[in-house]
Structure 1
Amino acid sequence: MMPNEIIPHSRPSLSDSDIEAVISVLKAGQLSQGPKVREFENKLASFIGKKEAVAVSSGSAALHLALLALNVKKSDEVIIPSFVCSAVLNAVNYTGATAVLADIDPLTFNMSVGAAKRAITRKTKAIIVPHMFGCPAEIDKLSELGIPLIEDCAQSIGANFKGQRAGSFGRLSVFSFYATKVIAAAEGGMVLSDSEDLISRIKDLREYDNKDNYILRYNYKMTDIQAALGLSQLSFLEKFIERRREIAARYFQEFKNC
């Protein structure tokens, strides 16, 4: 490896197909939430193995709505790992609940099952389980704790655990399509679930227009522009994952020479 050869930490991989997908939406004139959003929702739900999906404006919005769908409120506690993106902590704080930290496994950087178990109290309403760096957490053992799980798959789309996709185990799962993620749509997120009640609640809270009653709702919609880019990127997912494996292998090889 040459001394001045740099492998970027992150950089979106954009193809001509991605650009054409966005241009087609611009030409169609449907810029906000529309048919491309619904297509993206259906494609990701099918890919992960969940019944339904709701596209939103960001991964943070996805986490927030997932917690609200579980009726997390001020008097509740939500267990999160001690090593994770601050967006997870922010989402808990949005609800007014208390975030309780559980230590991580030093080998996988994922939440320790034992630490999560010790953190449970009578106030525990949910556990947010990120799959760090594409490596799935012990989601089967965490499921046995009897607390609703929200899988955070921001870093793990396409990962598998015991024959199932990451994101197919929890009561809810959330994804991010920020520019640094494997699937980059500039911004955007998604919430997946098999529960019709939870999905209905999330769809209701996602937008505030055209409602018969007033409760606090949000402007968390994804645009068709983002969805078109996300759909195009999703078609290249296996290629993206293979490239990341190649880069990781290069690091491992160079570390041997340190």
Structure 2
Amino acid sequence: MSEIPLSQPDITDAEIEAVTSVLRSGRLSIGPRQDLFEQLVAERAGRQHGIAVSSGTAGLHLAMLALGVGPGDEVITTPFSFIASANCILMAGAVPVFVDIDPQSMNLDPARLEAAITPKTKAIIAVEVFGNPRHMEKIEQIAQQHEIPLVEDACEGMGGICHGRPVGNFGRVSVFGFYPNKQVTTGEGGMIVTDDSRLAEACRSLRNQGRPSGNYQSHGTLNRGGVWLEHESLGYNYRLSEIAAGLGIAQMNRLDEMLDARRRVAGMYMRRLMDWDDLVIPTVEPNCEGDMSWFVYVVRLNSSYGKTERDRIITGMRRHEVGASNYFPCIHLQPFYRQQHGFKKGDYPIAESISERTIALPFFNKMDETQVELVCHTLKVMIQREQLLKR
């Protein structure tokens, strides 16, 4: 059998036709497909506005700027996430304040949140780690009580539902990401969604070099009488191309089908791994279980194992052509954060302990029973080898 990759985009003839249709149209940027893609994502999240951007990272950065986050401000977030959820705070000139995680959900622990709030707290970025929206309602309540804007980092949770609310519907503003390993991909891309009209207008301007927000015609003039080379503020080239938007529309039209496929693969893993004493498998809040949007399938070794054993297991799986990875290294222990901000091991012990024992297994829509069985068999052999080494 050939190598089983860690992830793989689900591209069909519908996506290929959508992209070639854009190329035939001659309109490659700032056009009708962007508008439709924004509408589809906003509707799925139960939001009034969608603002397409070049990446989830770009979306988080613009959310910070639109909320007025800047030098001297603090923004609370999790140390257990992809680094972009903290980097966007630094990009705005503010200071990230980490809060340790809940060991079951691996999301920011709401029980620890209030102690981190200070008069300098300008916003909270809560990440739905691996697509799990657990605790988001509670975090939203705390943010509202303290009148602090909540930014929902929904980059890993497209299509999920919890307590009857879609992922992307929590807080003042939410951000999706569309990298190739996500539930929906545009190659590279992201989407800001919000009900706040002024925030949406600010993000539309900021993504487009600070030009006045509006619908641009192909010759570069504003429908409302402005000019293409008029810039109201310092902005960025964070636009999403029509090619990417066309791909995104085709993917959104298949979203439910793809979510079902991912739940099927997660179920295959769960049935095979649930009785392994050496592993802790993902848990989902009962109210969210049937509507979970699986981004990846991450297990972790029990507390009798450490980073050394975990790394050897991952290396062994890769040697046998089974993709595996260490999702996620703690953000505060990344070299840049250690050197520039003085973080050290022991600052967030729960996140650190979990981070040292996680293993992301191959996970993509078209995985079959044979592939899942091979992944689980290889994982078991690698774990048994570690048990022998302990003796």
Q: Normalising by the residue count of structure 2, what TM-score does the alignment of the two structures yield?
A: 0.63
Partner Cα distance (2:240, 2:56) in 1: 11
Q: Secondary structure at the match of 1:202?
A: helix
Aligned pairs (5 A) from 1:121-132? 121-132=118-129
Contact 1:135 1:156 (8 Å CA) reproduced: yes
Q: Which amino acid aligns with 1:41?
A: E
Q: Secondary structure at the match of 2:97?
A: strand
Bigger drift between 224-233 and 246-255 goes to 246-255
Structure 1 residues 28, 111: closer, same or farther in 2, change over 3 A?
Answer: same
* Offset from partner CA, 1:148-204 (integer Å, 9 cap, x none): 111111111111111010111210000001111100110010101101110011111
The match for 1:245 is: 263
Instruction: Kindly indicate whether residue 187 of structure 2 is the aligned counterpart of residue 180 of structure 1.
Output: no
The match for 2:195 is: 194
The match for 1:204 is: 205
Instruction: Kindly indicate whether residue 139 of structure 2 is the aligned counterpart of residue 138 of structure 1.
Output: no
Two-structure CA RMSD over aligned residues (Å): 1.5
Instruction: Kindly indicate whether residue 43 of structure 2 is the aligned counterpart of residue 46 of structure 1.
Output: yes
Structure 1 residues 127, 174: closer, same or farther in 2, change over 3 A?
Answer: same
Q: Which amino acid aligns with 1:11?
A: Q
Structure 1 unpaired stretches of 5+: none
Structure 2 unpaired stretches of 5+: 212-227, 277-379, 381-391
* Superposition deviation, residue 7 in structure 1: 4.8
Contact 1:41 1:55 (8 Å CA) reproduced: yes
The match for 2:77 is: 80
Partner Cα distance (1:180, 1:159) in 2: 16
Structure 1 residues 6, 163: closer, same or farther in 2, change over 3 A?
Answer: farther
The match for 2:150 is: 149
Partner Cα distance (2:30, 2:139) in 1: 35
Aligned partner of 1:219 among 217, 234, 237: 237
Q: Secondary structure at the match of 2:259?
A: helix
Structure 1 residues 219, 213: closer, same or farther in 2, change over 3 A?
Answer: closer
The structure showing larger relative contact order (alpha-carbon pairs under 8 Å, at least 6 residues apart) is: 1
Partner Cα distance (2:231, 2:241) in 1: 25
Larger Rg: 2
Partner Cα distance (2:258, 2:13) in 1: 15
Contact 1:111 1:137 (8 Å CA) reproduced: no
Structure 1 residues 109, 7: closer, same or farther in 2, change over 3 A?
Answer: farther
Contact 1:110 1:137 (8 Å CA) reproduced: yes
Q: Secondary structure at the match of 1:144?
A: helix
* Offset from partner CA, 1:206-235 (integer Å, 9 cap, x none): 112536455311000000000000010011
Q: Which amino acid aligns with 1:223?
A: S
Partner Cα distance (2:240, 2:136) in 1: 28
Partner Cα distance (1:229, 1:48) in 2: 19
The match for 1:228 is: 246
Contact 1:102 1:119 (8 Å CA) reproduced: yes
Structure 1 residues 7, 38: closer, same or farther in 2, change over 3 A?
Answer: same
The match for 2:168 is: 167
Q: Which amino acid aligns with 1:62?
A: G
Partner Cα distance (1:76, 1:133) in 2: 28
Partner Cα distance (1:46, 1:127) in 2: 24
* Offset from partner CA, 1:127-167 (integer Å, 9 cap, x none): 11111122103122112223211111111111111101011
Partner Cα distance (1:67, 1:60) in 2: 11
Contact 1:130 1:137 (8 Å CA) reproduced: no
Identity %: 40
The match for 2:59 is: 62
